Structure formats: C-alpha cells, structure tokens
Amino acid sequence: MKKKIAKKIAFLDRDGVINKCAPEHEYITSISDFVFNESVFSVLQRLKEDGYEFIVVTNQRGISRKKLTVETLSKIHSHMTKVLKSHGINLLGILYCPHAVNSCDCRKPKDGLLRQAVTKYDINIEHSIIISDSTHDVSMGEAFGLKQSILVNKNKPKEALTKYQQDKIRIAFIKYGGMSNGGTEKMLQIIAANLDKNKFKVDYYYCDSSTYKGSNSIHLNTDSHRLHYMEKSGVNLIKFSVEAKDLTSPFHNWIDTNFWEVFNEENYDIVQTGRSGHKEFPFNKIRNVPIVDIIALSAGSDNQYNISKVMHICKWSADIWTKSGGDKSRVSIISLPIEVENKPYNDLRITFALEDKFIYGMHQRPSNDIFSEIPLLAYKSIESKDTAFVILGGGAKYKEQAKSLGLKNIYFLPATGDSSVIFEFLSTLNVYSHGRKDGEVNSQAMAEAMYFGLPIVSHTSKVNNGHIECIGDAGKVVITVEEYANELKRLQLDKQYLATKQEVAKKRFQENYELSGQMKIIENIYKSVIKDPFPFPWRRRLYALHWTQNIRIWMKWVYLKSKYYLLGRV
C-alpha cells in the first residue's frame, strides 16, 4: 500500500540543468548570476504531466569556501522556486551539500542527498529519475536504483526529453461478460483496443456469461467477432471464471470465481469498469488503485474513495447520477468512440428495388421489451408510393404492428451484429426513424446514423432521455405520434431542411463520436487520474490506517502503562 502512495520524483541537478553553469571554478553567488536555461520549463512541465514531483539535489561547495553564505543561497533558491512556480512547476524540496570535497557523505557523487530525500519524503525509488549534466550524478542514480538516470549536455536540459523513457500507464479493464456484443462491452472493447500501446499497457479481464442467482434473465455471452477484434488489438486478454452472479446479494457477488487468482491490483495504475452505478463486486474489494467508472445505466451511485473519475456518456446521465447521490466533482462527460471504416458501402436500394423511394428506417436488437409503437404509427399516416420503411432486427412486435396497420412499403432485415451489414443498411436510408420504449442514454446506432449523414427523428420516453442531447440539431425528438409524422413528412418534402439536417448530423458525428477525437479525451482523463489519483486523499489515508494493527498497538500501550503504574505503586 505504501508503495502506491509514494511519490515518483524527478531529481534535478541544479547548475547546468535548471540554470546556466557559472564559469569554471566560479560560483553562482547572487540572483543576478542565476540565469535559467529557457528549455527547462517545458521539460519539467512534461514530466509533471506524467506525475513526477521535483527535488533539486545540488553541490554548493561555495559555502564551505566562503564564496557565498547560506542566507544568500537561500535567497537564490527562493528566486528559483518563485520563477519555476510562475511556470507551473512546484519544487517538493531543495537539498544541497555545502561541504568541501571529501568531508561528508552528501557531496555528489555520494548518495547522501538522495538518502536525505528518502528519509524526508515518501518516495518510490524504482519509479524515480534523475537529470544531470554530470556523469557522476548519473552513476549515483544508477547505483541508487532509480528507474532512469538521464545525462544531458551542460545547459541543454531539453535533451532529457529525447532520452526520457515514459512510464506506460498500466490499466486493467474489468467487465463481467466483457467480450459480448452489448453496448457497454463494445464501448470498453473499443477504448481498450484503441488506446495507444506506446503509452498504455492494457489488460482486459472478461468471462463468459454465467447464470444469475435471483433472476432468470441471462447476460449476453462472449461473441466470437468481438473476441477476434480484441485479439488483434494489442490488448492482453485475461479470462476468468464465474459460476454465478448473485443478484440477491447487495454487491452482486460472483459465486465461485477465480478472479482474485488472476487479478492483482498491485499490478495496475488504473482500473476501468463499465457498470450501472451502485456499489458492486469486485470493485468494492479493489481499494488501492484508482478506479475509473463508465456508468451506462443509472442504478444508484457509489462514492468509494478510490473511485477517481466517473465517466458518463451524456450530461443527462451525469445529472441523474448526481441526483442519486453521486459525487459531482468526479464526473467526466465523454461520448461514445465510434469506429466506422471509411470506405464505400453498398446501397441496398437495388437489392430491394427501392431506387426512387424516400426511405425511413432504424435498427434495433430483437427484443420486444424495447418495442415502441410510435415510428410505424407515424409512418402509417404519411405512407405513399414514394416512401418506404426498413427495419433491421427489432422485436417481432414490429412485424405484427406493420401487419395490423396494413403497411405496404415496409421491409424487414434479420438482426445482425455484423457492422458492415449495418453500415450498408444505414447508407440506404434517408432518415433514421428511431423509436424505443425506454429511450436512450446515448446510442451507438444513432451515432453511426449521423456518420452517414442521416437526420434522426425520435420520441421522448419515461425512462431514458439522453438521446435528446445526443441528437441535438441533427434531428428532432418529439412527444406525440402526430409530431413524429409531421417531422417525417417535412424531411421528405423540404429538400433544404433535409440538407441542413444532413450537414448537422455529419458535423455532430465528427465532434462527438469520431474515434480519434474521443480517444484523445479518454487518454487525457487517464492522464489526469495518474496525476491526481484520489479525489479525497485524507479519506484514503483514514482507510489506510491498519486498524487491527492499531488496536494491538493501543492494547500493548495500555498494558505497558498499567504495568508501569502498578509497579510504580508497589
């Protein structure tokens, strides 16, 4: 545990790194002698981004030789500290050796200053580095077991960055049933697969679907396409087993799992989850690594102290979560990173002989519990020989409804997880006519429709209404069947209106969903977690008190005290 809190330090030689060296055999004896190496600021800012804190370690023999006083040195150092601070760099400490050659343990290349630092601060040696223009300092750093000892030429601190070996951020994705084709799972897979592997070491923990205790429903199982997608992504896949997931227990414990045999939190800098919000196994047992949540459903909130950031896929979702007790300061709004291979897709109009039709449509997973009657009811009132409606997937209720409404130009395609079929379907449509009983939080299907420049018509729901925000000006979210029908009609007849909406849809895709833009946002969130892992460090320290151990210490103390008093009185 101690190792995790310990700071990683960049030890800095002073003269020749931070400031220009004095001429040979001379000393920096006043503030006016102290001239910064301009490039040092950007070097330190870069290291700061990676979570380093700074300690200056410098030989100042000039003091023993009476060239300057301790007071003058401290003035120079206040000046140095102030200027660095104005560039956003805070020094954790300045350690110097004032002694003459061969008269102490702290004059570099002896390691006394490093040992002082370790005594004074909680330092993680193996993750710390030193930057110096002296080969002696570099040997000292190497012998001391620092991660890296970087030699730069005199007054050229910038060279440090080309030699600097960045730490890879070690991140563990953990999701029950994580290799399925579900929305949350796919999002985690896409993030894991697209993280820059030069900067991140990515492990992905998943299991096949197992039975639930307390429910008959079953989680989507591992999907071979998704597994294949992940296998070629440079992510290290780690499979664990779970006999059952216990929905009757407050934390939804996993029964008979080998998870703790394959996972050790000590090996990670970040744990990434995808979950519904409430306190949940196994994350309630992971206590020392910062956790980043993706909340895809709103089923409560969890403010465990090591939950560092809580990603929401729209603002609406964040608001609901905050209202349920979630800590607002941890919220990060992201969207969905969407992968669409940029290539021409077949238009299915020819296949269906729909060349001259204005086509509405949507795709949905084949389950009746999300069926919405609105889209086809609305379409019924505007159907003509110039229009058609195509549904890919969707529950059986859509077919029944189409039949009972007596729709003529309606087509059904079988459900599929194959993206290229979905993209062919989307490039065939003119308007994405969305309907879903429980609404959406954010929607990959809608985002993909926007990629193809489709305006989206949808309706509000009694459950989720994140789609209002996601669609924005790229379409319209209405309440009634009549309004829905009017919008379908307007998009068909008003060419200018249609063209405007198409442009907005494409633009919204680029801004809110395009893969590289979204990945940049997510990588920056991870970097900020590395920099500032725990939102409430004091709460964490409270937990870190090993209370059982403390009780033993207290009991011993009381025992010794009482013995002392008893003996004293005897």
Cα 442 to Cα 174, 186, 457, distances in angstroms: 21, 13, 15
Q: Is 1 in the site for Zn ion (CB under 5 A)?
A: no
Q: Which is nearer to Zn ion, 57 or 310 (CB)?
A: 57
Q: Report the residue closest to Mg ion, judged by CB.
A: 16
HSE, CB side, 13 Å, CA atoms: give it for residue 467: 27
**Which residue among 8, 11, 13, 509 contacts Mg ion (CB under 5 A)?**
13
Q: Rounded to an integer, what is the distance from CA 173 to the centroid of its chain?
A: 10
- First-to-last alpha carbon distance for the chain, in angstroms, is 45
Torsions phi, psi of 305, nearest 5?
A: -60, -25
Q: Is 383 in the site for Mg ion (CB under 5 A)?
A: no
15 binds, among Mg ion, Zn ion, none (CB under 5 to 8 A by kind): Mg ion
Minimum Å distance from CB 59 to Zn ion? 8
Minimum Å distance from CB 133 to Mg ion? 4
Q: Which is nearer to Zn ion, 99 or 170 (CB)?
A: 99
Minimum Å distance from CB 8 to Zn ion? 25
Q: Which is nearer to Zn ion, 102 or 198 (CB)?
A: 102
Minimum Å distance from CB 107 to Zn ion? 4
- Which residues between 304 and 343 bind Mg ion (CB under 5 A)? none
CB 138 within 8 A of CB 130: yes
Size of the site for Zn ion (CB under 5 A): 5
Angle (CA) 390-475-321 rounded to 5° is: 105
Minimum Å distance from CB 15 to Mg ion? 4
Minimum Å distance from CB 132 to Zn ion? 16
Q: Rounded to an integer, what is the distance from CA 270 to the centroid of its chain?
A: 9
Cα 283 to Cα 180, 207, 265, 456, distances in angstroms: 20, 16, 11, 37
Minimum Å distance from CB 117 to Mg ion? 17
Q: Is 15 in the site for Mg ion (CB under 5 A)?
A: yes
Minimum Å distance from CB 103 to Zn ion? 7
Minimum Å distance from CB 96 to Zn ion? 8
Minimum Å distance from CB 106 to Zn ion? 3
Count CB atoms within 10 A of the CB of residue 208.
15
99 binds, among Zn ion, Mg ion, none (CB under 5 to 8 A by kind): Zn ion
CB 27 within 8 A of CB 67: yes
- Which residues between 69 and 98 bind Mg ion (CB under 5 A)? none
Q: Is 117 in the site for Zn ion (CB under 5 A)?
A: no
Task: Tell whether the torsion through CA atoms of 548, 552, 553 and 557 is positive or negative.
Answer: positive
- Which residues between 94 and 113 bind Zn ion (CB under 5 A)? 97, 99, 104, 106-107
Q: Residue 157: which residues within 8 A CB-CB, separation 6 or more?
A: 17, 18, 37, 39, 40, 43, 131
Q: Which is nearer to Mg ion, 57 or 207 (CB)?
A: 57
Q: Is 205 helix (H, G, I), strand (E, B) or coil?
A: strand
In the block, tokens 């744990």 appear at 271
Size of the site for Mg ion (CB under 5 A): 4
Q: Which is nearer to Mg ion, 28 or 235 (CB)?
A: 28
Cα 105 to Cα 97, 98, 112, 140, 239, distances in angstroms: 9, 11, 5, 13, 52
- Which residues between 39 and 98 bind Zn ion (CB under 5 A)? 97
- Which residues between 119 and 138 bind Mg ion (CB under 5 A)? 133
Q: Is 16 in the site for Mg ion (CB under 5 A)?
A: yes
| Per-residue contact flags (x/-) with Mg ion for residues 133 to 172, judged by CB under 5 A | x---------------------------------------
104 binds, among Mg ion, Zn ion, none (CB under 5 to 8 A by kind): Zn ion
Count CB atoms within 10 A of the CB of residue 372.
23
13 binds, among Zn ion, Mg ion, none (CB under 5 to 8 A by kind): Mg ion
Q: Can the peptide bond before residue 533 be classed as cis, meaning omega within 30 degrees of 0?
A: no
For residue 317, count CB atoms less than 10 angstroms from its CB and return exposed for 0-12, middle for 13-18, buried for 19 or more.
buried
Q: Is 206 helix (H, G, I), strand (E, B) or coil?
A: strand
The H-or-E segment that residue 382 falls in is helix 374-382
Q: Which is nearer to Mg ion, 34 or 411 (CB)?
A: 34
Q: Rounded to an integer, what is the distance from CA 125 to the centroid of its chain?
A: 27
560 binds, among Zn ion, Mg ion, none (CB under 5 to 8 A by kind): none
Interface with Zn ion (CB under 5 A): 97, 99, 104, 106-107
Binding interface with Mg ion (CB under 5 A): 13, 15-16, 133
